Amino acid sequence: MTDFISGFATALHPLNLFYCLIGVVLGNIVGVLPGIGAIAAISILLPVTFYLEPTTAVIMLAGVYYGAEYGGSISSILLNLPGTASNAITTLDGYPLARRGEAGTALLTAQISSFAGGTLGIVAMVVFSPLIVAFSLSFGPAEYFATLLLGLVAGSTAVGNSPLRGVAMVCIGMLLGSIGLDLNSGIARYDTGFPNLLDGLSIVAVAMGLFGIPEVVANIRAAQRDEKPIPISAGAMFAAFRKLRSIVPSVLRGAGIGGFLGPLPGAGPTIASFLAYSVERSTSRNPQEFGTGRINGVAAPEAANNAAAQTAFIPTMTLGIPGTPTMAIILGALMIHGIAPGPQLVGEHPDLFWGLVASFWVGNVFLLLLNVPLIGVWARLVSVPRRFFFPVIVALVCTGVYGVSNSVFDIWAVLLMGVAGYVFRCFGFSPAPLLIGFVLGPMIEQYLRRALMISNGDYAYLFSSGTSIAIHCLTLFVLLWPIVRSYRSKARMRAEETS
Amino acid sequence: MKTLKDASGGLLIALTGLVFLIGARNFAVGDLRNIGPGFFPVALSVLAIAAGLLITTLDVIKKAHAQMSMDLRALACVAAAIIVYAALLERAGVLVTTVLAVFILALARRPLRPLETLLLGTGLSAFIWAAFVLGLGMPLSLFPDILQ
Amino acid sequence: MLTKRAFLTVAASAMALAMTSAGHAAEDYPKEPIKLIVPYSPGGGTDVTARIVAEGMAKNLAQPIIVENRPGASGTVGTLLAKSAKADGYTLLFGIQATLALNPSLFKSATYAPKDDFAGVALISESPYVITVPGKAGIADYKQFAEAATERMTMANGGSAALLAARLLARDAGLKFSNIPYSGTGAAISDILAGRVNALISSPVSVLPHIESGALKPILVTSTTRYHALPDTPTAEELGFKGFNVVGWYSIVAPKGVPQDRLDMLNEAFRKTIADEAIAKRLMDVGVTPAPGKLTAAETSEYIAREYDLWTKEIADAGIEAQ
């Protein structure tokens, strides 16, 4: 704890403050721009970091990373364009809120929840750091398999009123995810002769195609009949502040889930946001209201993915295990300065580690101060005639997707996913389960096969630890609880009728 | 017949599953102790086909209606705009591509406002060039590449 | 900043090109920015190395070198792009063992012939693989490792090159273990640290901190010379496997057809770069052991051709079919 406080001395050094600000502002901007994501901004900044002190360099790069997580919620809410997979779930209630004229409320909720989630994640880092390391080391293929299964179940039941449709979309998502080289056998699956498909479909292309494009198609002509700008009330902000008390439990639950899942490499923030949403929905008295614009549906996932974005740094810094490509770049930046991330890092460079952790909080404060005054501006953007929006969305999606790997192939992928997404939508299928299937599917397959290889084909290995059994129980709960509840409420209604 | 059309969403899922199942015919499925590259694709395809057929059956029984009718004109315009990006972005540069795409999108709605559309396309190109090419270093040019 | 300057220079040189006719002597080279295609994502180990080298070479050539990331298909996409680029010395490719020696035998989509389509510019680095076991496993040296290596032993690897190294060792040493593939060494480290897998084959840099902390114990390195940061770890050759030499390498190549004097000029610029101690140290810090820098452009071509032939044969012998 004293280390953490002395870390503020490092974080508040004017030079570090300056680069922290640059990092979070840039991260916020690329987060708002659909498709681009933190990785592009970080790789632009990488040459600059050659000339900075390692602490300063990492503070800046980390700022880009979690700044993008903040910014991603803005385009999710305003344009139905999730900046990252972990923001996708925010569109479900954030975008309906914006369409209803409550963009201000939704944005404020997202910002406050992000800040609260980030802060709680940092507290978790400071208090539980050694525990988090032990926890993430205790996760083997069996435990990952259990967690990913939980994420899939949560994802397929999170939206809509038909779990069957959710399951169907998860299957399609997992099938799309299986495109590309199979790690174990080296076989190319469904590549249909395109070398670009050996690495699989681009996640950005899938997310943008599924969420953004169908929205454009569905509204481009509707707006013709209804040219009136969406109303935004001046009192919305104040109303939002009053509503904020009701999101406190959601934020706490979300941050808890996020902080817990963040250290898991690969999909921590994504699973966390879907699970947080699913928990909100299944513990709510009115689950049918989710998806129509409930602020709790924005608060919980935003708190979760930001908490996860913070705790994700623990395994990166202390084990040298990068959970995401972005984390890998940050590790690279450290190594350029001769600092090897690993178990000795905290002991050998306490100023760097605790300065970085303290800078996270400073950066979160920057982001809050930066974004809350801008909410008015963003919200007013919604009152621009919508016919101007559609070309902007299409152009940003196509260019942004191109930029991920400088490849027009990904634009063709957007076309395919956009058309498919629109057709599915017309038949009442939600894109969210497809996306989570796409993200988690390849991982769950990988971990299952690895678990079987390590255990020599023994399925008992999947249930060999307390952790994995506990997670499987949680999955059963998520699966069965809505059924139990609907049965109970029916029973109650019947009891009321008879009395 | 109307009901069948509305219920064809499930059939679409089943069809997608079938395509993936056919694509997986050459993958080794392996056995349960050491599962091969075909195990997941085959299992998921079968599950998708089953779920799709079940959805359609239930929809027909419940006489469900489609969420909304398909707007083919809008779909065609948006798809064409994306195709313009995919086909021209690297060759014709940001300006020509964007202006062309913006005009195609404008065709989805009547009346066409040529001046407004042109201004929007130009402004948007400038923004994209500044943000993505200058700011983020994407290998694109603003104007058609006359050198190639 | 770099891009803005690049744009201005490109615009300026476009005008210059329009005014003058082609056919200038090599001494004019390079008169515009050079593009270095890196077939991997920005920020990864390969990209960082490429950027360090590009920055140093740019200084020595007095022209910017613009790194362009074209990731996809294990490096195949960017490599194909470089193959079809103009052979004028203004497009270069960052070529590594995986793309130039392994992929053509592993993937049908890698439709390039490293020996025919590319000419060497410079060999940047060579780095061995190291086999490590958990410190808790009680395996002190290779002898005990070989005794423990039965079918039940699991060996993690983070990519095709490391997997091939493990297979070659298993064949030459008569060892039995089952290889567990991971997508990158980072993902394998937590499983080896927790003892869920018994051994790991990886580049030394990714495991050095854990070797220092005692969590992992190095057994052998796969090069013929010892690794500088692991002076006490024997080589496979010292353990009796004569001529066993598997190293990963980085290089810069150009599309075939670039005039030899331009290749030599680039090679010269690279030598000056690698002789700069600051740059050499920066490379060491990211885990890249700079090659002695003795290879000329022509010798680099020969080196790559040798590696390609070696791996094509090994992959065929191992019975692995291209996908």
ipTM for the assembly? 0.93
3-state helix, strand, coil in chain C (%, to 5): 45, 20, 35
Q: Which residues pair with C178 in a beta bridge?
A: C154
Environment class of residue A68 by beta-carbon count within 10 Å: exposed (0-12), middle (13-18) or buried (19+)? buried
Question: What is the per-residue pLDDT for C231?
Answer: 92
Between C43, C107, C189, which is nearest A320 by CB?
C189
Inspect the interface and report whether the beta carbons of C4 and B134 lie closer than 8 Å.
yes
Q: What is the distance between the alpha carbons of residues A267 and A155, in angstroms, rounded to a whole number?
A: 13
What is the residue-wise DSSP string for C264-278? HHHHHHHHHHHH-HH
- pLDDT band at A239; cut points 50, 70, 90: low
Instruction: Search chain A and give the residue with CA nearest B105.
Output: A391
Same domain, B54 and B77: no
Inspect the interface and report whether the beta carbons of A454 and C197 lie closer than 8 Å.
yes
Specify the residue for token string 């389509």.
Answer: C117
In a domain, B87, yes or no: yes
Between C4, C14, C68, which is nearest B139 by CB?
C68
CA distances from A10 to A4, A16, A354, C214 (A): 10, 7, 8, 30
Q: What is the distance between the alpha carbons of residues C185 and C170, in angstroms, rounded to a whole number?
A: 20
B130 close contact with A: CB closer than 8 A: no
Residue A229 clears pLDDT 60, i.e. is over it: no
Q: What is the distance between the alpha carbons of residues C245 and C260, in angstroms, rounded to a whole number?
A: 30
Q: What is the distance between the alpha carbons of residues A90 and A85, in angstroms, rounded to a whole number?
A: 10
Same domain, B9 and B38: yes
The number of beta carbons lying within 10 Å of the beta carbon of residue A450 is: 27
Best of C1, C5, C7 to mutate (most B CBs within 10 Å, chain B) = C7
Which range among A261-270, A296-305, C1-10, C133-142 shows the weakest confidence by mean pLDDT? C1-10
Tokens of C315: 């992959």
In a domain, B144, yes or no: no
Instruction: Search chain A and give the residue with CA nearest B40.
Output: A445
C65-69 and C34-38 as β-strands: parallel, antiparallel, unpaired? parallel
Same domain, B81 and B42: no
Residue B1's contacts (CB-CB under 8 Å, 6 or more residues apart) are: none
Write out pLDDT tens, residues A419-435.
999 999 888 888 888 98
CA distances from A439 to A70, A307, C158 (A): 20, 20, 20
In a domain, B67, yes or no: no
Domain with B123, as residue range(s), is 72-135
Inspect the interface and report whether the beta carbons of B44 and A175 lie closer than 8 Å.
yes
What is the residue-wise DSSP string for A106-128? HHHHHHHHHHHHHHHHHHHHHHH
Q: Which residues pair with B30 in a beta bridge?
A: B35
Best of B136, B141, B142, B145 to mutate (most C CBs within 10 Å, chain C) = B141
Residue A337's contacts (CB-CB under 8 Å, 6 or more residues apart) are: A54, A57, C285
Residues of chain B above pLDDT 70, percent: 90
- pLDDT band at B67; cut points 50, 70, 90: low
Question: What is the per-residue pLDDT for A223?
Answer: 55
Q: Identify which of A286-300, B58-72, C11-25 has the greatest average pLDDT.
A: A286-300
Give the CA count within 13 Å in the CB-facing half-sphere of A60.
Answer: 26
Residue B21 clears pLDDT 50, i.e. is over it: yes
Between B40, B47, B51, which is nearest A445 by CB?
B40
Q: What is the distance between the alpha carbons of residues C228 and C289, in angstroms, rounded to a whole number?
A: 9
Per-position pLDDT tens, chain C of length 323: 333 334 333 333 333 333 333 344 446 788 888 889 998 876 667 887 888 899 889 888 888 888 888 877 778 888 988 988 888 889 999 999 989 998 888 887 788 999 999 999 999 988 889 999 999 988 999 999 999 888 789 999 987 788 888 988 998 888 988 899 887 777 788 899 989 999 999 988 888 888 988 999 999 999 988 988 899 999 999 999 988 888 889 999 999 989 998 999 899 889 888 888 888 888 887 778 887 667 888 899 999 999 999 889 888 887 777 76
In a domain, B19, yes or no: yes
The number of beta carbons lying within 10 Å of the beta carbon of residue A162 is: 16
Overall number of domains in chain B: 2
Q: What is the distance between the alpha carbons of residues C284 and C276, in angstroms, rounded to a whole number?
A: 12
Residue A30 clears pLDDT 70, i.e. is over it: yes
Same domain, B85 and B32: no
Closest CA to A132 of A278, A13, A236, A261: A261
**What distance in Å separates residue A199's CA from the closest CA in chain C?**
5
Same domain, B25 and B56: yes
- pLDDT band at A233; cut points 50, 70, 90: low
Q: What is the distance between the alpha carbons of residues B117 and B124, in angstroms, rounded to a whole number?
A: 10
Same domain, B48 and B82: no
Cα-trace Rg, chain B = 23
Angle at B103 between CA B99 and CA B107, to 5 degrees: 170
Inspect the interface and report whether the beta carbons of C44 and A325 lie closer than 8 Å.
yes
The number of beta carbons lying within 10 Å of the beta carbon of residue C235 is: 18
Instruction: Search chain B and give the residue with CA nearest A403.
Output: B138
Write out pLDDT tens, residues A159-177.
766 788 899 999 999 999 9
Tokens of C87: 């052979």
Instruction: Search chain A and give the residue with CA nearest C1.
Output: A44
What is the residue-wise DSSP string for C266-320? HHHHHHHHHH-HHHHHHHHHTT--B--S---HHHHHHHHHHHHHHHHHHHHHTTP
Same domain, B49 and B82: no
- pLDDT band at B147; cut points 50, 70, 90: very low
Closest CA to C254 of C75, C117, C60: C117
Question: What is the per-residue pLDDT for C126?
Answer: 87
Same domain, B94 and B121: yes
Closest CA to C284 of A338, A64, A348, A77: A338
Q: Is the dihedral of CA C28, C31, C36, C37 positive or negative?
A: negative
> What is the longest distance spanned by two Cα atoms in chain C?
73
Same domain, B79 and B127: yes
**Omega before B111 cis (within 30°)?**
yes
**What distance in Å separates residue C2's CA from the closest CA in chain B?**
8
Average pLDDT, chain A: 84
Domain with A463, as residue range(s), is 2-498
Give the E-state strand segments of A322-420 in sequence order: none
Inspect the interface and report whether the beta carbons of A164 and B36 lie closer than 8 Å.
no
Tokens of B132: 């993505």
Instruction: Search chain A and give the residue with CA nearest C106.
Output: A186
Write out pLDDT tens, residues A117-144.
999 999 988 888 778 778 778 888 999 8
Question: What is the per-residue pLDDT for A238?
Answer: 63
In a domain, B146, yes or no: no
Q: What is the distance between the alpha carbons of residues A385 and A227, in angstroms, rounded to a whole number?
A: 7
Average pLDDT of the segment spanning B93-99: 94
Between A171, A220, A415, which is nearest B51 by CB?
A171
Q: What is the distance between the alpha carbons of residues C115 and C37, in angstroms, rounded to a whole number?
A: 18
Best of A172, A190, A198, A224 to mutate (most B CBs within 10 Å, chain B) = A172
Question: What is the per-residue pLDDT for A226?
Answer: 42
Contact C219, C226 (CB under 8 A): no
Q: Which residues of C touch A196 (CB under 8 A)?
A: 72-73, 77
Same domain, B55 and B97: no
B115 close contact with A: CB closer than 8 A: no
- Please write down the HEC assignment for all residues of chain B: CHHHHHCHHHHHHHHHHHHHHHHCCCCCCECCCCECCCHHHHHHHHHHHHHHHHHHHHHHHHCCCCCCCCCHHHHHHHHHHHHHHHHHHHHHHHHHHHHHHHHHHHCCCCCCCHHHHHHHHHHHHHHHHHHHHHHCCCCCCCCCCCCC
C154 close contact with A: CB closer than 8 A: yes
Average pLDDT of the segment spanning A92-98: 89
DSSP category for residue C20: S
Overall number of domains in chain A: 1
In a domain, B91, yes or no: yes
Chosen domain end from B62, B88, B108: B62
Write out pLDDT tens, residues A46-60.
767 777 888 898 899
Question: What is the per-residue pLDDT for A183?
Answer: 79
Write out pLDDT tens, residues A384-429.
777 888 898 899 889 988 887 788 999 999 999 999 999 998 888 8
Q: Which residues of A touch C209 (CB under 8 A)?
A: 320, 340-345
What is the residue-wise DSSP string for A52-63? S-HHHHHHHHHH
DSSP category for residue A211: I
Best of A42, A137, A204, A409 to mutate (most C CBs within 10 Å, chain C) = A137
Which range among A19-28, A45-54, A253-262 shows the weakest confidence by mean pLDDT? A45-54
Residue A247 clears pLDDT 50, i.e. is over it: yes
C192 close contact with A: CB closer than 8 A: no
Q: What is the distance between the alpha carbons of residues B29 and B13, in angstroms, rounded to a whole number?
A: 22
Tokens of C157: 């690897």
Q: Which residues of C touch B134 (CB under 8 A)?
A: 3-4, 7
Enumerate domains of chain C plus CATH numbers. Answer: 2-17+33-127+248-317 (3.40.190.150), 130-221 (3.40.190.10)
All partners of chain A with 3 or more CB pairs under 8 angstroms: B, C
